[in-house]
Amino acid sequence: MNLVYAAMLPALLLRLFHNQIWISLSRHQTARRKHIIVDRSLEFDQVDRERSWDDQAILATLFFYVAYAAIPSVRLMPMWETKGAIAIALLHVGPVEFIYYWFHRALHHHFLYSRYHSHHHASIVTEPITAVIHPFVETIAYFLLFSIPMLIPIYMGYGSVLGVVLYLAYNDFINNMGHCNFEMLPKWIFQRFPPLKYLMYTPSYHSLHHTKFRTNYSLAMPIYDYIFNTMDKSTDELYERTLIGTEETPDVVHLTHMTTLQSTYHLRVAIASVASRPSDNHVWYMWMIWPMAWLSMVLAWVYGSSAFVVESLKLKKIMMQTWVIPRYNFQYSLIRERESINRLIEQAISDADRRGVKVLSLGLFNQERQLNGSGELFTQKYPKLRVRLVDGSGLATAVVLKSIPLDTKRVFLCGGGSKVAHATATALCERGVQVIMNQKKEYDMLKLRVAESSTAYLKFSSDEIPQIWIGDIIDDKQQMGAPRGATFIPTSQFPFKKIRKDCTYLSSPAMRIPEAMQNVHTCENWLPRRVMSAWRIAGMVHALEGWGIHECGDDMMDIEQVWSAAIKHGFIPL
């Protein structure tokens, strides 16, 4: 097979992988917020607008196939040619940078800006993929411009495969770097090589172009902004300020973990378009990249020694972060893994306490009774813990109770061994709603928790089957035993598998978040956009209210109090 032809597909895959690395790096750094440049919210509309970032790389590859077929000298290119590489560099530094500068200025004329370039500038808070989000006509213009350094050496007889691949990699590098929303280039580079400030831009340099629009037009070499007096006067000050950065301490940390292997892609720091949809909304190309999920799992298992930050949000005056324990659902079920998982959770709690975090909410299996007693293990080990641990059981119970119709007289509790299931059943009995169970062991355990005055409403029966079913786990066989038109209401953080079309399935306990919450552009696991689990919201409400107690172990916040507080702060029932 011809060398040039064989290199095209691997070159495309390398470009896509290179861009994805920048996306993950940028999102991790902006979640940490230390060197952030533009402190504004990134929303779903921008993620949707930029989900086609890979189109330009695929289009470029198609053009290369056309060039391979149409230009005989392309098929004869060697792997490397030094003269061609030098020609590429000189052509980029000379005509490409100069033409780009004036073409870019022309795009900011109101006629072209309103019709074309405004699409790119709709993103004030830039991400690496923002670099290639343009209307089709503009994309073609850029491709023609950047073809100059590749085609001229080919016509001169100095073209090479590596020369073209490395030039594409350079363009991807400067584009991705320049659109990151955090500063990264160390100051010593410019101190040791002062002329470099005219030949290399920084993320903060280009960020000013996206916030002020009429300055800093250059592609990667600011020299033309200096020559034509379009350099923004605050460029150096912004660079130095963001490079130093400020270490921010979140008020609330939500400690979660990965669920399935595919959930790796659903992390905010992974594939942006996938993370912006519920995790059960599968995309067609998942099967193509499943080996990466296995590799990620192995690396997380072997090298994942601490929780890592993936998200940063704001609501009113509090800042919230999401930290992820590098473990998956199946690992939490392995008894031999419990000690190491608890060490990871304990390390995250100690880190949050040391940094001055006010509230840490435990998500998914991080609060399992069998694992750490719903967090009680840590409060007993560290009685002077300043960070408040919240398992969210009070608000989760409130959401479940509000999901049950007011005129309900009977409910069926199935697989309800959790703290939330017990609290829900107890509250229903106190309200005079009959709770029916058909599992003797769980019935006997729950009967000890229900007040003596309400035990008459707790019933063990294998014959009575109400329309309302609640529980932690309701498997396929149990669902098939439910009557037609039954309603299934989860009391756990995981949704039920939907196997009945004639029944209604409610979401796992969750609420819609206030419109005032900023920087929300990912979905929490399987939940819809701008919906969060009650366990996660409980930590936010705890901090907003300034409550100074733990909610873990057998302790639970007053159900009506925490519900009223959530409603007061703008959280809305589904």
pLDDT tens-digit series, residues 103-122: 999 999 999 999 999 999 99
Mean pLDDT check: name the lowest of 4-8, 103-107, 260-264, 376-380. Answer: 260-264
Domains in the chain: ranges and CATH: 3-244 (no CATH), 252-390+527-573 (no CATH), 395-508 (3.40.50.720)
495-545 per-position pLDDT tens digit = 999 999 999 999 999 999 999 999 999 999 999 999 999 999 999 999 999
pLDDT above 80 for 288: no
Claim: this prediction has a pTM higher than 0.85: yes
Tokens linked to 442 = 């769980």
pLDDT greater than 90 at residue 415: no
At residue 417 the predicted structure's pLDDT band, cuts being 50, 70 and 90, is confident
Q: Please tell me the chain's helix, strand, coil percentages from 3-state DSSP, rounded to the nearest 5.
A: 55, 10, 35
Q: Please state the φ and ψ torsions of residue 164, each to the nearest 5 degrees.
A: -70, -45
Report pLDDT digits (tens) over 185-235: 999 999 999 999 999 999 999 999 999 999 999 999 999 999 999 999 999
The pLDDT tens digits for 313-337 are 999 999 999 999 999 999 999 999 9
CA distance 267 to 284: 18
Give kind and range of the element (H or E) at residue 148: helix 136-156
pLDDT (0 to 100) of residue 22: 97
- Rounded distance, CA 487 to CA 469, Å? 6
Does the pLDDT value for residue 130 go beyond 80?
A: yes
**Confidence band of 555 (pLDDT split at 50, 70, 90):** very high
pLDDT above 80 (res 55): yes
The residues, ordered by sequence, that sit 6+ positions from 409 with a Cβ below 8 Å of its Cβ are 433, 434
Mean residue pLDDT across the chain? 95
Band (pLDDT 50/70/90 cuts) for residue 554 is very high
Query: Is 80 exceeded by the pLDDT of residue 285?
Result: no
Confidence of residue 276 (pLDDT cuts 50, 70, 90): very high
* pLDDT classification of 293: cutoffs 50, 70, 90: confident
Give the CA-trace dihedral at 212, 216, 217, 221, to 10 degrees.
-160
Crossing angle of helices 82-91 and 161-178, in 10° steps, is 30
